[in-house]
Structures are given as structure tokens and as C-alpha cells.
């Protein structure tokens, strides 16, 4: 039967009384018979052990042949095994057809008593390293430092009362690397930002500088297409003046050389680069112009 049909039988528990501890779902195609699913009765074996099993060793019911079946997932060779509890059973379904064990003979779904050896065996309390049981010390070698070396102080002489015995190896950079994890603070990308500081610019950071220094002023904003004459003709009472900040070193901003300063718009607690356009200064009634990136294009007052 198929794996879904077998799972349904286990779920509905219609196999009747089970004297054994194992139920196997065989499938025959031509002269080839494969083991597709193995269900172990929970209680006959420890549930934790069943969950962490990587292989099952059992006896086939007909000729009592010892057979080891891998039930762990694998990349090479590719093997996909679906495992989980269904009713009173713990089911292993081998989903990769090429990895299903091939046996000789013709069988139907069989239930039988057998001694099942489950790897890893946790009955003694001693765990074997596997994918479900990562333990300290299973790595082949500890990671070595890129710049820290071992200092050998295992023996001392008159010459090495204060220096390690491998002092000359250390000096000529041939000493063995120390098995210690390097700190990220030895990485240039980390220490430069933390200890040497960073510099952000609006042109390459898509934002404003973390610290701004400049001169506050008020101005009325106009689009780039507005003529200077039309701007100058508007009465002050009809204009809306907003706060701005000029990052130039000179004040007021109309005396700053072109592209020497950035103009920022201030809206409450939000500071952002000013849009491209023209600004009519409130105090002097002069006009300055800003680029698409907020730079001052001209401060002559006669754009």
C-alpha cells in the first residue's frame, strides 16, 4: 500500500492486536520489493530515542536476516525521511525511492516481534554524537587565531625566566597560532567606526550629517520656474516664511560662495535637505537658489 494509506491505517488503528513492536509497509513492483515505511510501537522503545534515531537494525520476519535501515535525512546521498508520532506508533517514511531498502521475496504489511537496535543508543545514558546531539569536543580542531600565537612556558632556563622558550619563533613570526577565537575588535571595519570615528555625507549616505553646524535663517520657498521679479513683488504679509539652516561658514547665506554650503529645511523636529528651488530671505529680501541636492548654487541676490 502507499505511504498515505499506511498512515491512515495507523491513525485509525485498524491493524488489530499487535503482539510485536514493529509494523513494516512493503511494496512490490515486479520482482523488486522495498521497505517504504517502518512504524515502531511507542513503549517498546523510548520516545526520545525514536525521535533522535539515525538508523534501525532489525530482523526481517521471513528469514530473520539482519537489516540496517538509515532513517536520518541526508544530502549526500540524498535521502528524505519523514518521521513523527501517529497514535501509538512512531513512523519513519522513506520518501526518496532510491533510498528505500530492497529485499528479496514478496511480502505484505507485516507486524512482528523483533529486537530493534536504535542508533544512537541512549539507554546507558551515554550519547553518541549525531545531528540531534551536538556535544562539546566533536569538532576535529579548534579555530585558530589570525594574529595571536602560543607562548611556550612549559620549561624555563636562565634565558627564559621571563621570556617564553619560543621567543625567537614569536619574533620571526613562525610561532604556532593560538587556538582562540579572534575578537571582532581586531577587524578594521569594526574598530574604525568605534574608535576612529566615521564621516557621513548626504551625497553618499542618503541622509543628513549626524552633527550639523551652521546659521539659522527664515525664507519663503518658490519653485525654480518663478521669476525673481515676481518673487520680489510679493508683499511680506502675503508670504509664508519657514526656518532653514545654512551649513556654510559665512553668514548670512547670500554671501556664501556657490556649492560651499548645504541648505536644510526644518519642519518641527525633522531636518532634511532643502528641495531644489529659490528662497527669498526674510531679513534682506535677497534670493538664493538651491540645487536638487540642497547645495547653494548662488548667493549673489541677483539670480
pLDDT tens by residue, the chain, 303 residues: 888 888 888 888 777 655 567 788 888 877 788 888 888 888 767 777 788 788 888 776 666 677 788 888 887 778 888 888 888 888 889 888 888 877 766 666 665 555 566 766 655 555 555 555 555 555 556 778 888 888 887 766 665 567 888 888 888 888 888 888 776 666 665 666 666 665 655 555 555 555 677 788 899 999 989 998 999 899 988 999 999 988 866 555 665 555 567 888 988 888 888 889 999 988 888 888 888 888 887 654 443
Instruction: Verify that 26 and 98 share a domain, yes or no.
Output: yes
3-state secondary structure of 11: helix
Instruction: Verify that 94 and 171 share a domain, yes or no.
Output: no
Instruction: Verify that 90 and 194 share a domain, yes or no.
Output: no
Q: Would 207 be classed as within a structural domain?
A: no
Q: Would 134 be classed as within a structural domain?
A: no
Q: Would 208 be classed as within a structural domain?
A: no
Query: What is the rounded distance in angstroms from the CA atom of residue 242 to the CA atom of residue 272?
Result: 13
- Residue 302 confidence (pLDDT): 40
Instruction: Verify that 102 and 14 share a domain, yes or no.
Output: yes
- Residue 300 confidence (pLDDT): 45
Closest alpha carbon to 61 in 4, 113, 15, 132:
113
Closest alpha carbon to 56 in 34, 76, 78, 39:
39
Q: Would 148 be classed as within a structural domain?
A: yes
- Residue 243 confidence (pLDDT): 92
Q: Would 48 be classed as within a structural domain?
A: yes
Instruction: Verify that 9 and 115 share a domain, yes or no.
Output: yes
Q: Would 181 be classed as within a structural domain?
A: yes
Choosing from 87, 119, 151, the residue where a domain stops is 119
Instruction: Verify that 102 and 160 share a domain, yes or no.
Output: no
Instruction: Verify that 180 and 104 share a domain, yes or no.
Output: no
Instruction: Verify that 51 and 112 share a domain, yes or no.
Output: yes
Number of H helices, E strands in the chain: 6, 16
Instruction: Verify that 16 and 91 share a domain, yes or no.
Output: yes
DSSP 174: -
- Residue 268 confidence (pLDDT): 83
In which domain, by residue range, is 15 found? 3-119
Query: What is the rounded distance in angstroms from the CA atom of residue 188 to the CA atom of residue 194?
Result: 10
Choosing from 198, 229, 249, the residue where a domain stops is 198
Output the nine-digit C-alpha cell for 277: 528651488
- Tell me the CB-side half-sphere exposure of residue 171, using CA atoms within 13 A: 6
Q: Would 95 be classed as within a structural domain?
A: yes
- How many structural domains is the chain composed of? 3
Instruction: Verify that 31 and 104 share a domain, yes or no.
Output: yes
Instruction: Verify that 12 and 55 share a domain, yes or no.
Output: yes
CB-CB contact of 230 with 239 (8 Å): no
Query: What is the rounded distance in angstroms from the CA atom of residue 150 to the CA atom of residue 144?
Result: 10
Q: Which residue has the cell 512490490?
A: 28
Q: Would 13 be classed as within a structural domain?
A: yes
Instruction: Verify that 17 and 111 share a domain, yes or no.
Output: yes
In order of 9, 35, 56, 96, 236, the CA distances from 100 in angstroms are 21, 6, 13, 7, 88
Q: What is the pLDDT of residues 58-86, one digit of tens each?
A: 776 666 677 788 888 887 778 888 888 88
- Residue 189 confidence (pLDDT): 59
Closest alpha carbon to 293 in 271, 278, 275, 280:
275
Contacts of 117 (CB under 8 A, 6+ apart): 56, 57, 58
Amino acid at each position: 500500500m502507499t505511504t498515505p494509506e499506511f498512515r491512515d491505517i495507523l491513525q485509525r488503528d485498524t491493524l488489530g492486536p499487535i503482539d510485536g513492536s514493529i509494523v513494516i509497509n512493503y511494496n512490490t513492483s515486479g520482482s523488486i520489493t522495498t521497505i517504504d515505511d517502518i512504524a515502531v510501537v511507542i513503549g517498546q522503545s523510548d520516545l526520545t530515542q525514536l525521535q533522535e534515531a539515525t538508523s534501525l537494525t532489525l530482523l526481517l520476519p521471513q528469514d530473520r536476516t539482519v537489516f540496517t535501515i538509515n532513517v536520518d535525512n541526508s544530502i549526500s546521498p540524498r535521502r528524505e525521511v519523514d518521521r513523527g508520532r501517529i497514535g501509538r506508533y512512531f513512523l519513519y517514511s522513506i520518501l526518496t525511492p532510491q533510498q528505500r531498502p530492497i529485499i528479496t521475496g514478496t511480502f505484505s504489511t507485516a507486524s512482528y516481534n523483533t529486537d530493534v537496535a536504535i542508533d544512537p543508543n541512549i539507554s546507558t545514558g551515554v550519547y553518541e554524537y549525531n545531528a540531534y546531539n551536538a556535544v562539546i569536543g566533536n569538532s576535529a580542531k579548534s579555530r585558530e587565531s589570525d594574529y595571536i600565537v602560543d607562548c611556550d612556558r612549559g620549561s624555563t632556563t636562565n634565558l627564559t625566566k621571563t621570556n617564553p622558550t619560543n621567543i625567537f619563533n614569536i619574533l620571526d613570526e613562525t610561532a604556532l597560532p593560538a587556538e582562540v577565537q579572534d575578537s571582532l575588535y581586531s577587524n578594521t571595519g569594526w574598530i574604525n567606526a568605534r574608535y576612529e570615528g566615521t564621516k557621513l555625507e548626504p551625497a553618499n549616505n542618503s541622509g543628513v550629517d549626524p552633527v550639523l553646524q551652521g546659521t539659522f535663517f527664515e525664507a519663503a520657498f518658490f519653485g525654480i520656474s518663478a521669476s525673481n521679479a515676481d518673487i520680489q513683488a510679493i508683499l511680506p504679509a502675503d508670504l509664508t516664511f519657514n526656518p532653514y539652516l545654512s551649513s556654510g561658514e559665512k553668514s548670512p547665506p547670500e554671501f556664501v560662495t556657490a556649492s560651499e554650503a548645504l541648505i536644510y529645511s526644518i519642519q518641527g523636529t525633522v531636518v532634511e535637505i532643502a528641495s531644489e528651488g529659490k528662497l527669498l530671505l526674510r531679513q534682506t529680501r535677497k534670493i538664493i537658489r538651491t540645487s536638487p541636492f540642497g547645495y547653494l548654487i548662488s548667493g549673489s541676490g541677483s539670480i
